[in-house]
């Protein structure tokens, strides 16, 4: 794992494409009658029948969200798919497709096994899930530096950050009707940590001198992965000295690296005075994971240093020509930040990224098999916080079929979603999209917009 500008660019392009195979709870199913996994969006929701999941196909999601779209980093030049670094793509076109801060995120939640049943005066669920939460924030200045080169004598790269957490959860949920108007629910989740990484590259201010670079950097990486060690390299200073810095990381084996606890809380209110309305609220993933180690790489605040590692020669045939040195510089973001290896700082605790779902549903009085719902979903995660508003029309025309169509607007733009839910005696199948896929690239047919999703599942009902 190399922390360098070129790999950051490549990783960003790959991330935009690859998180399209990540997952989250489908918001399109929140108001759908007998959608099996509504309880994962609000633990107060219960199903009319029990279920047992089909292993491997219980609840499979594919989704991606963000403001950094594949169309911003992948282009078509002379009929071929290429990256924004291709000389055939103008700098003005690339810069025009980017924001000051570009974000992309992913939530993987793969249900390994699950069951639901009526008992203890309510509805109960048990599930085992594998989860990953990823967030990336890439400033426009990195793309500008890569595409345009050092056009000025100074350059400032600020506010690049990334976070990733992987863990498994064993969840026990219960929904209970306490009055004719109120139903409450909760899930308790035992968490097994796989790994966590938080990187904040706050600042790298570069000033080009006659024969060297003056650099002010501020960065920190905290990694909790079993068997991880940092690689080191050396910077040559103008005074002839050398300084060791973190250039990458190696992982020797992997495994359980921490434990934690989490809770989902929810409530549903159906007032008698407003019989056609149902109000609901849920707070998901209130919890923490205690990691066994914390491998720290840091600049210890603002760090100022001087290096002649990159010297430019106007002679194109010289070993240190602009093109050669520029390629070398693009390969060494880690050298520009010069992080010290602070080693293992001991155990640390991180909190989960919490999600709040707030919904109101109106049942159409002239045709009670039709309802309209308004749902707000907000992820609370610091720099990676986002919100989504979704208006849906939901219908259950016959006993074994229900469906939803919906439109959304939020942090990452607008979209169109749908879900079809078949729940016949003994069998359940559902499929849908929170964000319907629009234009795609030529092979391998990846969505050009970062907001795309697909959701399907198969379960046995009893």
User: What pLDDT score does 74 carry?
Assistant: 78
Taking residues 30-48, what's their average pLDDT? 95
DSSP code string of 136-174: EEEEHHHHHHHHH---SSEEEEEEEEEEEEEEEEEEEEE
Give the whole-angstrom CA distance, residue 87 versus residue 172. 55
Task: Show the domain range for 328.
Answer: 5-461
DSSP state of 54: P
Looking up residue 437, the CATH number of its domain turns out to be 2.40.160
User: What pLDDT score does 224 carry?
Assistant: 95
Q: Which one, of 154, 185, 156, lies nearest residue 172 by Cα? A: 185
| Other residues' Cβ atoms within 10 Å of the Cβ of residue 253 | 8
More confident of the two residues 459 and 5: 459
Asked which of 12-21, 239-248, 257-266 is least confident by mean pLDDT, the reply is 12-21
User: What pLDDT score does 152 carry?
Assistant: 54
Please report, to the nearest 10 degrees, the dihedral formed by the alpha carbons of residues 80, 81, 82, 88 taken in order. Answer: 40
Q: pLDDT of 105-142, one tens digit each?
A: 877 788 999 999 999 999 999 999 999 888 888 888 87
Give the whole-angstrom CA distance, residue 240 versus residue 234. 12
* Mean pLDDT score of the chain: 84
Q: Which one, of 337, 352, 267, 270, lies nearest residue 297 by Cα? A: 337
Q: pLDDT of 356-368, one tens digit each?
A: 999 999 999 999 9
**Residue 244 pLDDT more than 50?**
yes
Q: pLDDT of 403-429, one tens digit each?
A: 999 999 999 888 899 999 999 999 999
CB 193 within 8 A of CB 224: yes
Q: pLDDT of 189-243, one tens digit each?
A: 999 999 999 999 888 887 766 666 788 889 999 999 999 999 988 877 766 778 8
Total number of domains constituting the chain? 1
Paired tokens of 379: 């992820």
CB 434 within 8 A of CB 453: yes
| Other residues' Cβ atoms within 10 Å of the Cβ of residue 347 | 13
- Give the torsion sign (CA, 47, 52, 54, 56): positive
């Amino acid at each position: 794992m190399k922390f360098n500008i070129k790999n950051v660019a490549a990783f960003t392009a790959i991330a935009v494409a690859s998180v399209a195979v990540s997952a989250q709870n489908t918001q399109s199913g929140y108001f759908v009658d007998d959608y099996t996994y509504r309880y994962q969006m609000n633990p107060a929701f219960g199903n009319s029948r029990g279920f047992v999941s089909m292993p491997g196909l219980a609840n499979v999601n594919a989704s991606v969200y963000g403001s950094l779209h594949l169309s911003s980093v992948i282009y078509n030049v002379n009929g071929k798919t290429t990256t924004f670094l291709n000389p055939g793509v103008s700098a003005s076109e690339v810069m025009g497709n980017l924001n000051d801060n570009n974000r992309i995120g992913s939530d993987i939640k793969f249900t390994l096994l699950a069951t639901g049943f009526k008992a203890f005066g309510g509805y109960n669920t048990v599930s085992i899930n594998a989860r990953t939460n990823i967030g990336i924030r890439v400033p426009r200045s990195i793309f500008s530096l890569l595409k345009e080169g050092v056009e000025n004598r100074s350059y400032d790269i600020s506010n690049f950050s990334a976070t990733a957490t992987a863990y498994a959860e064993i969840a026990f949920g219960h929904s209970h009707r306490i009055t004719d108007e109120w139903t409450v629910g909760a899930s308790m989740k035992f968490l097994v940590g796989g790994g966590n990484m938080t990187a904040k590259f706050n600042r790298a201010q570069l000033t080009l001198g006659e024969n060297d670079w003056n650099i002010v950097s501020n960065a920190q990486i905290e990694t909790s992965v079993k068997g991880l060690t940092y690689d080191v390299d050396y910077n040559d200073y103008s005074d002839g000295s050398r300084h060791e810095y973190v250039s990458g990381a190696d992982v020797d084996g992997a495994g359980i690296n921490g434990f934690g606890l989490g809770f989902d809380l929810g409530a549903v209110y159906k007032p008698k005075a407003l019989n056609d309305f149902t109000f609901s609220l849920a707070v998901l993933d209130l919890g923490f994971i205690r990691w066994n180690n914390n491998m720290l790489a840091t600049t210890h605040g603002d760090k100022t240093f001087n290096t002649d590692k990159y010297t430019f020669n106007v002679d194109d045939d010289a070993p240190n020509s602009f093109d050669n040195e520029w390629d070398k510089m693009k390969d060494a973001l880690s050298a520009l930040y010069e992080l010290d290896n602070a080693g293992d700082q001991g155990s640390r605790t991180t909190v989960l990224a919490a999600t709040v779902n707030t919904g109101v549903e109106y049942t159409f009085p002239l045709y009670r098999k039709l309802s309209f719902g308004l749902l707000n979903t907000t992820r609370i995660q610091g720099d990676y916080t986002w919100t989504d508003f979704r208006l849906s029309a939901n219908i259950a025309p016959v006993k074994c079929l229900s469906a939803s169509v919906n439109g959304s607007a939020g942090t990452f733009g607008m979209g169109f979603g749908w879900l079809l839910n078949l729940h016949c005696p003994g069998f359940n199948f559902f499929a849908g999209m929170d964000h319907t896929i629009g234009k795609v690239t030529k092979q391998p047919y990846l969505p050009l917009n970062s907001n795309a999703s697909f959701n399907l599942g198969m379960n046995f009902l009893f």
